[in-house]
Structure 1
Amino acid sequence: MTREFTVLHLFSGIGGAALGFQQAVGEYKGVVGRFRTLAGIDVDAEACADFEYITGAPAIQMDLFSRADYKSFHGHEPPPGWQEVTAGDLLAATGWEHPDVVFLSPPCKGFSGLLPAEKSRSEKYQALNRLVVRGLSLVVEAYQDDLPAVIMLENVPRITSRGEYLLRQVKHLLGKHGYAFHEGFHDCGELGGLGQHRKRYLLIARLEQKMTSFIYKPPVKRVKSIGEIIGPLPMPDDPRMGLLHRLPRLQWKTWVRLALIPAGGDWRDLQEIAPEQYRLEYIPRGRGPYGVQKWDEPAATVIGNASFKGSNAACIADPRLNHIPRDGFYRVQRWEGPSTTVTAAANASRSNGATCIADPRLPNRDNRHPAVYQVVRWNELGPCVTGTRFGSGAPAVADPRLSCRPRNGTYKVQAWDQPSATVIGASDIHAGAAAVADPRIPTDNERPDPPPVIVALDGTWHRPLTTLELAVLQGFPISLPNGQPLKLAGKSDARWRERIGNAVPPPAAKAIAEQILSALLVSEKGEWVLGYTGFWVHENIASVRTGKFFATEGLRGILKSFCPDMISSHILSKQILYGQEGLKWPGKD
């Protein structure tokens, strides 16, 4: 037997959570449970297109702002024809079906630590934050005659501080409608076995009238290294993988910076570099246009043309800085370690997320012995004589007794400002003058295309992650069940990365969905089961004597006070909580 449950995704994005729910399978006493997606709802038209392509389920573009909050966020009145979404609109979006589960992932930008605290308090971002309460209010109003069995609210951890007053409203609304709930934090990497750590906040609520069974936490899985996840992919810019696997075209100076930063480091390591070690050009500070003068030295002469661009006395290196740049700028991640959290601003030049990788898979790299093709100096000792041939040992010498000139300009490098030698039929660097001294070295702001491969000191290629690699780190497949490759709507790489960074990782969503499916199936039989991973949601355990309510961890405290050596005892726990306290046991047994 198969039992189908329905789910609505509010603030659905590109469908990461929906894909995970669709992949989930539960089973109890011969009944197999699955989820069917009623709809995804999001304000972003491209995200809705992505949702439909990835999940195959309908997506409806809806702006859930109230009119007042629309004005506060956008700074102007809504366009003609804009109307506030009502509970009736939400009900119509699901085809007048009432979902068993509702998953909300409201915009997190106003709660995120990436946004300065002062800016987060602005009315613009407060309006964005209020979508948390607005979305939940529409849900309980739209489906009030048959409320969802489970409601989940997912967001960044800092919602508990920056949005604490909003969470109070959320909990009050849920409690008023008969929901027991749990809030806490989890690592999506551990739930889904991802290649990154991604800490998130989750409030999960269970309608006790509909669901008698507890909801248990998913088991913890091993977090994989970045290399395990993206290693099987073809090299960046492989045309078979499409535009999502195109390597970002960075400025030359950014390529150099990445090559100089050690794996696991970031921009701060650049401060330790000795320019002469790498033959970098060094220009003393405090002189010429755009010059920055030292704080502890006399100033240059103040002249009449003291402008920023044309003067040498217009800028100062002021040490009184009360701001420290965030960690992670120009971060180069280790191939063998987990990735940092994939964020919506995953840009190699200014992000503190998962942007660059020390890739050991150098293009066309042969894993040969260091002495391959070794040429020994004429005036130095020779290496040990072995039975090797020319290509694997060191049987070559730099013999100075050359009495002839090689024909046809072998390995000849031609001057840029002189006519070329005759182009011949065997015109390669081994046979003719097929090389040139090109003076067009990229300037700092040029973006070489194709990108350069600069071998870093650790022997790897420090490069930015492609958009496809970020999607795979988030748990998205490189191809969909219908055989089509993963692709996203629009043409903006920055918008693609933003939507990927905002997505719920499908494997983490699948792990959560499987626990909910289990609880739904058990509850339909009016039963309950024991779990080993710990409670996510159980009913509020009330004490008749004190009238107090205990949270999830309070249950363990109650049991321990009665039977410290038998906390896991099913029978004794049941007797204490429901026999001695006189509470009603939800199961039929």
Structure 2
Amino acid sequence: MKDLHLFRVGHIFCGSGGGAIGFEQAKQEYRGIAGRFVTVAGIDSDPEACQDFEALTYGQAHRMDLFSYDDYSLFHGKQPPKGFKEVMPEDIFEVFEGKAPDTIFTSPPCKGFSGLLSKAAAASEKYQALNRLTIRGITLVLEAFKHDPVGIILFENVPLITSRGSALLSEIKLLLQKYGYLFTESTHCCGEIGGLGQRRKRYLLIARHPAKVPSFVYEPEKQPLKTIGDIIGHLPMPDDPAGGPMHRLPRLDMITWIRLALIPAGGDWRDLQRIAPEEYRLAYIPRGGGSYGVQKWDDVSDTVIGHAGVRGSNSAAIADPRVGYLLNHSPREGVYRIMRFEEPSTTVTGSAKVGRSNGASCIADPRLPNQSIKRFSNKMQIHSFDSSAATITGTPDVQAGAPSVADPRLGCSCRNGSYGVQNYDAPAKTVTGADIHSGSAAVADKLLPDMSSRPDPPPIIIAPDGTWHRPLTTYELAMLQGLPTHMRDGRPLQLAGKSDARWRERIGNMVPPPTAEAIGEVDLKVKLMSIFDAWELSHSKIWVVPVSINPDGQIENRA
């Protein structure tokens, strides 16, 4: 048995399309074997995804559309553009300069297999055409390198592919067997393999060519999941320029902020239907000195703004000790007198005024006004959804009698997870391209921004649990997906383009780099053992077993 020593050398690659990896090995006489992956090429039809691939992996990306002519038309609803040419096996062969890579990793589009798509839409011709990219991609690879097979082929997708794409998977497995591959398929949590801050269940098919890779392929060891707080707790607060342009907090309607504040951590929109209208009230905490704020004479003033007013959110009054100077006289006893509510009044005179000394004119009244003793009893009235309304008048103002209703209907058909608020101290749900309106993309943040310097908007509504229920920024979603915090030039992570929606879609499509690294390490290890005729005993579960010949002389898979 040869001495085996492997070095951990960093990420393999990530991207929404496929890619291929080659490796270099060098034997060290005193330490055994060392190896590392080198990204050879990536293929994607999205130009921005190709830019991301090159920026994150340092490998070369090739923009190629793998659709057949007919499937392009079915998916896009129109004929391919002029000059469109179907990709053939020789095109794939040329991408890799005529040399078979050691590993090919493919993650074809999963929209047609995803549970986020309705069954009716998934069964449509459009998404069936998209789904056929799975088998077309594998076919191109197998044909391109049929004379020099790729050692290991990794195929990754969403777990529902085993049901919604079962027929396609059967074709893929028959193809792999035809070209001499052994394979195994399973589902795993990317978070546990890569030690992420999210739960991300995925389907993985691993195929190895026994002539190239005769050794066992073991599963990578599972790692503890991190929490959302573990991942985003050390990042700059949202909207801080230190987080770059992807760290901008989404601007939401006020009603959406209120909804998020009312949804308990770990819940979603369905929790709103269990809230009684009279159960909560919003309490306004003003900035600065606040409404009727009185500043100290001998202290520094609050910031002077153009809209300052006594009843505004910034202090616009002063505790001025120079009463005599301001009134141009030295008042005698009784001026500005406040009478006690529980004591007899002083003599009532006809000239009693606040600024004079004659008679009682002010009282310290402990009875704060409330709705029941106001002149109009129908101000801001809210009717029950299942009761009759009061008389309808012509006024549109709720403060003047226009009725409101406690309507339990949100006005939309939300699916599970919409407006989902995730717990700061728990792992995140699977990162997708969705925003808060269509998925769990908000967090009950324990860290509150500096109120004196925060941007305005967004509003900060402190939920009953004492946290700020807010959307996760695109930058934070990327961190939960395991992407690096910074680019090579030191800038905060920034993907190609300027659209948050497109950034989020590509982030959701990516294979988390730490997960790819963990899978790549067991891949690299088995290749090195195969090259040097080494073997290993391990307590880890085997993914793909060595070759086995059945009584008919056929290769079979015992996995």
1:551 CA displacement: 3.8
> Which residue identity does 1:87 align to in structure 2?
P
- What residue number does 1:456 align with? 463
- Determine if contact 1:11/1:43 at 8 Å carries over to the other structure: no
- What residue number does 1:212 align with? 214
Give CA-to-partner distance per residue, 1:128-165, whole Å, 9 cap, x none.
Answer: 00000000111111111111000010000000001000
- Determine if contact 1:26/1:518 at 8 Å carries over to the other structure: no
- Looking at structure 1, the residues matched to 14 and 518 of structure 2 have their Cα atoms a distance apart, in angstroms, of 20
Q: Mark the CA change 1:126 to 1:336 in structure 2 (over 3 Å): closer, same or farther.
A: same
Q: Mark the CA change 1:24 to 1:118 in structure 2 (over 3 Å): closer, same or farther.
A: farther
1:11 CA displacement: 10
Greater mean alpha carbon deviation, residues 215-224 or residues 85-94: 85-94
Q: Aligned pair 1:87/2:89, yes or no?
A: yes
Q: Aligned-residue CA RMSD in angstroms?
A: 3.4
Q: Mark the CA change 1:326 to 1:3 in structure 2 (over 3 Å): closer, same or farther.
A: same
- Looking at structure 2, the residues matched to 169 and 48 of structure 1 have their Cα atoms a distance apart, in angstroms, of 29
- Looking at structure 2, the residues matched to 507 and 137 of structure 1 have their Cα atoms a distance apart, in angstroms, of 28
Q: Aligned pair 1:501/2:504, yes or no?
A: no
Q: Mark the CA change 1:548 to 1:178 in structure 2 (over 3 Å): closer, same or farther.
A: closer
> Which residue identity does 1:352 align to in structure 2?
G
TM-score (norm 1): 0.68
2:75 aligned counterpart, secondary structure: helix
- What residue number does 1:352 align with? 439
Pick one of 320, 338, 343 that aligns with 2:427.
338
- Looking at structure 1, the residues matched to 470 and 457 of structure 2 have their Cα atoms a distance apart, in angstroms, of 13
> Which residue identity does 2:131 align to in structure 1?
N
1:463 aligned counterpart, secondary structure: strand
> Which residue identity does 1:57 align to in structure 2?
G
2:85 aligned counterpart, secondary structure: coil
Give CA-to-partner distance per residue, 1:214-239, whole Å, 9 cap, x none.
Answer: 10000010001100011010110001
Q: Mark the CA change 1:332 to 1:11 in structure 2 (over 3 Å): closer, same or farther.
A: closer
TM-score (norm 2): 0.72
- What residue number does 1:479 align with? 486
1:38 aligned counterpart, secondary structure: strand
Q: Mark the CA change 1:167 to 1:459 in structure 2 (over 3 Å): closer, same or farther.
A: same
Give CA-to-partner distance per residue, 1:9-31, whole Å, 9 cap, x none.
Answer: 9994289x88xx79999999622
Q: Mark the CA change 1:34 to 1:479 in structure 2 (over 3 Å): closer, same or farther.
A: same
- Looking at structure 1, the residues matched to 444 and 51 of structure 2 have their Cα atoms a distance apart, in angstroms, of 34
- What residue number does 1:522 align with? 529
Give CA-to-partner distance per residue, 1:368-408, whole Å, 9 cap, x none.
Answer: xxxxxxxxxxxxxxxxxxxxxxxxxxxxxxxxxxxxxxxxx
> Which residue identity does 1:274 align to in structure 2?
A
Q: Aligned pair 1:252/2:254, yes or no?
A: yes
1:365 CA displacement: 7.7
- Determine if contact 1:40/1:59 at 8 Å carries over to the other structure: yes
- Determine if contact 1:11/1:106 at 8 Å carries over to the other structure: no
1:526 CA displacement: 2.3
Query: Which consecutive residues of structure 1, in runs of 5 or more, have no partner in the other structure?
Result: 287-293, 301-315, 367-447, 553-589
> Which residue identity does 1:494 align to in structure 2?
A
Give CA-to-partner distance per residue, 1:253-287, whole Å, 9 cap, x none.
Answer: 1001011111111111111222222247775477x
Q: Over alpha carbons, which structure has the higher Rg?
A: 2
Q: Aligned pair 1:512/2:508, yes or no?
A: no
Pick one of 310, 326, 335 that aligns with 2:415.
326
Q: Mark the CA change 1:10 to 1:228 in structure 2 (over 3 Å): closer, same or farther.
A: closer
> Which residue identity does 2:421 align to in structure 1?
V
2:470 aligned counterpart, secondary structure: strand
1:546 CA displacement: 13
Q: Mark the CA change 1:258 to 1:90 in structure 2 (over 3 Å): closer, same or farther.
A: same
- Determine if contact 1:11/1:42 at 8 Å carries over to the other structure: no
1:168 aligned counterpart, secondary structure: helix
Query: Which consecutive residues of structure 2, in runs of 5 or more, have no partner in the other structure?
Result: 283-379, 392-406
- Determine if contact 2:545/2:558 at 8 Å carries over to the other structure: no
- Determine if contact 1:10/1:135 at 8 Å carries over to the other structure: no
2:199 aligned counterpart, secondary structure: coil
- What residue number does 1:13 align with? 16
- Determine if contact 2:43/2:50 at 8 Å carries over to the other structure: yes
Q: Mark the CA change 1:203 to 1:43 in structure 2 (over 3 Å): closer, same or farther.
A: same
- Looking at structure 1, the residues matched to 479 and 229 of structure 2 have their Cα atoms a distance apart, in angstroms, of 11
- Looking at structure 1, the residues matched to 27 and 17 of structure 2 have their Cα atoms a distance apart, in angstroms, of 28
- Looking at structure 1, the residues matched to 25 and 424 of structure 2 have their Cα atoms a distance apart, in angstroms, of 33
- Looking at structure 1, the residues matched to 552 and 143 of structure 2 have their Cα atoms a distance apart, in angstroms, of 36
- Looking at structure 2, the residues matched to 24 and 481 of structure 1 have their Cα atoms a distance apart, in angstroms, of 23
- What residue number does 2:75 align with? 73
Identity %: 52
- Determine if contact 2:108/2:157 at 8 Å carries over to the other structure: yes
Give CA-to-partner distance per residue, 1:410-446, whole Å, 9 cap, x none.
Answer: xxxxxxxxxxxxxxxxxxxxxxxxxxxxxxxxxxxxx
- What residue number does 1:51 align with? 53
